[in-house]
Amino acid sequence: MLDIKFIRENPELVKEAALKKRSTVDIDLLLKKDDERRDLMQKADELRAEQNKMSGSIAREQDRNAREQMIMEMTTVKNDLGKIEEDLKPVMLEWKKLMLEVPNVPDMSVPEGASDADNIEVKVVGEKPIFTFQPKDHIELLEKLGYVDFERGSKVSGFRGYFLKGGMATLSFALWQYFLEKIVAKGYDPLIVPSLVRPELLYGSGYLPQGEEDLYKTQDGEYFAGTAEVATMGMYSDEIIPADQLPMKMVSFSPCFRREAGSHGKDVKGLIRVHEFFKLEMVILCEAEHEKSVQLHEELLANVEELMQDLKLHYHVVLNCGGDIGLGQVKKYDVEAWIPSQEKFRETHSASYFHDFQSRRLNIRYRDAEGKLRYVHSLNNTLVATPRILTAIVENYQTEDGKIRVPEVLKKYINTEFL
């Protein structure tokens, strides 16, 4: 959430941000509602002050007739105040709704564009694998090895359901452990966080109201989150973090759930786009300094690149355009791994920073050197998401006879040459 003071002082900048992010929020209407809100709140404050003053006068008045007259006058003030408070309620509801729709201002380096097709490639690492045979896709490879069962997965959990068996279950555990050990050694605190979260945390982290259709909701009103970022940010909501604990670097593990409501017809088979998956997510809370956010954003990207290089996967990094970054993101990089069967890169990681957009909504603050309360800045990046990354490993490490070589760095967890 942006500060309303900032919006009032920079309406054209915020309109440009909304345009760049393909947001339809009406900034002029928001400012009009804010004028109404401010006017009604001022009147209410004046009446409350008058009411308090009259209460004191009544308490001191000795003359009975004068006191009764003052009580009648105060009743009128109280009624006027009640009417203004009633008038304020719908204005506040509309104002809050519009405020939640205002996007964060993207960094100047974010390119123009409407979708991921307009993202800009900033780096390519490694080379495409050369096969002396026609490479198979991960579905065919895993089904022949008996390492995945989509039919029974659908029977149990419906469309996009799956079971991972044998080598793929082993590979998943190995990846989680390897990635976790590497990032903890860099100073990130490990957490296991809830998937079931209250709606206010999704509003706070920016996944509601726009992302409603992609979330699973319980009959009790909670939601199943699509990333551990939501619970991790919520962990510190309404708290003041000691400044000497910043930056806080965390890596959170949880099951994740997405309805994939906007992906009809896309990746309907296989493990790239599923409803239930597992993630290790890096989350950082830091001081409210743009330069610090930029530095840590690059660190998050470097962490993932190091691990992709450890796995010897061919990948590239793209800078996401305005139409392909979320409501709260200032800037985002996607890391995409090469998928031989599709002959293209597919996203495996997303690194973002938000400035104080999330922390303002969630009320996460710290005291700066002058003792002033300020909202922290927040950042996040996928460390590893399974089963999606399995598709890249399986396809890039396949052999002509249908086996899957074990990446060298994972052999200490998987004591075999092939899966």
Q: With helix as H, strand as E and coil as C, how does the chain read?
A: CCCHHHHHHCHHHHHHHHHHCCCCCCHHHHHHHHHHHHHHHHHHHHHHHHHHHHHHHHHHCCCHHHHHHHHHHHHHHHHHHHHHHHHHHHHHHHHHHHHHHCCCCCCCCCCCCCCHHHCEEEEEECCCCCCCCCCCCHHHHHHHHCCEEHHHHHHHHCCCCCEECHHHHHHHHHHHHHHHHHHHCCCCEEEECCCEECHHHHHHHCCCCCCHHHCEECCCCCEECCCCHHHHHHCCCCEEECHHHCCEEEEEEEEEECCCCCCCCCCCCCCCCCCEEEEEEEEEEECCCHHHHHHHHHHHHHHHHHHHHHCCCCEEEEECCHHHCCCCCCEEEEEEEEECCCCEEEEEEEEEECCCHHHHHHCEEEECCCCCEEECEEEEEEEEEECHHHHHHHHHCECCCCCEECCHHHCCCCCCCEC
C-alpha 255/C-alpha 263 separation (Å) is 20
Question: For residue 151, is pLDDT > 80?
Answer: yes
Residue 64 pLDDT grade (very low, low, confident, very high; cuts 50, 70, 90): confident
Tokens (6 digits) for 2:
């942006």
Supply the pLDDT for residue 276: 96
Residue 70 pLDDT grade (very low, low, confident, very high; cuts 50, 70, 90): confident
116-410: in CATH 3.20.20.70: no
Higher pLDDT, 416 or 65: 416
Pairing of strands 276-286, 239-241: unpaired
Q: Where are the domains of the chain?
A: 4-101, 116-410
Mean pLDDT of 177-188: 98
User: Which of 300, 394, 297, 295 is closest to 341 using CA atoms?
Assistant: 394
Tokens (6 digits) for 56:
């004191």
Supply the pLDDT for residue 370: 93
C-alpha 41/C-alpha 154 separation (Å) is 55
Other C-beta atoms closer than 10 Å to the C-beta of 208 total 18
Mean pLDDT of 240-257: 97
Mean pLDDT of 9-31: 96
Cα distances (Å, whole numbers) of residue 112 to 11, 104, 116, 232, 353: 20, 15, 11, 31, 18
Q: Distance between alpha carbon 291 and the CA centroid of its chain, in Å?
A: 21
The burial class, CB within 10 Å (0-12 / 13-18 / 19+), for 375 is buried
Cα distances (Å, whole numbers) of residue 222 to 157, 194, 202, 260: 20, 12, 10, 18
Supply the pLDDT for residue 262: 67
Picking from 59-73, 178-192, 272-286, which range would have the lowest pLDDT averaged per residue?
59-73
Residue 72 pLDDT grade (very low, low, confident, very high; cuts 50, 70, 90): confident
Mean pLDDT of 306-327: 97
Question: For residue 356, is pLDDT > 80?
Answer: yes
**Using N-to-C axis directions, what is the helix angle for 27-60 and 64-101, rounded to 10°?**
160
Cα distances (Å, whole numbers) of residue 211 to 77, 96, 151, 160, 326: 44, 17, 29, 20, 10
Mean pLDDT of 118-128: 97
Supply the pLDDT for residue 62: 82
Question: For residue 352, is pLDDT > 70?
Answer: yes
Supply the pLDDT for residue 263: 67
Phi, psi of 326 (to 5 degrees): -75, 175
Supply the pLDDT for residue 60: 86
Question: For residue 14, is pLDDT > 90?
Answer: yes
Question: For residue 303, is pLDDT > 70?
Answer: yes
Cα distances (Å, whole numbers) of residue 48 to 34, 68, 88, 223: 21, 20, 15, 40
Mean pLDDT of 278-303: 98
Question: For residue 264, is pLDDT > 80?
Answer: no
Supply the pLDDT for residue 63: 84
Mean pLDDT of 294-304: 98
Residue 265 pLDDT grade (very low, low, confident, very high; cuts 50, 70, 90): low
4-101: in CATH 1.10.287.40: yes
Tokens (6 digits) for 352:
């973002």
Catalytic residue set: 258, 273, 347, 350, 388
Cα distances (Å, whole numbers) of residue 260 to 113, 148, 152, 214, 215: 22, 21, 20, 6, 8
Question: For residue 191, is pLDDT > 90?
Answer: yes
Mean of per-residue pLDDT scores for the chain:
95
pTM of this prediction? 0.93
Question: For residue 268, is pLDDT > 80?
Answer: no
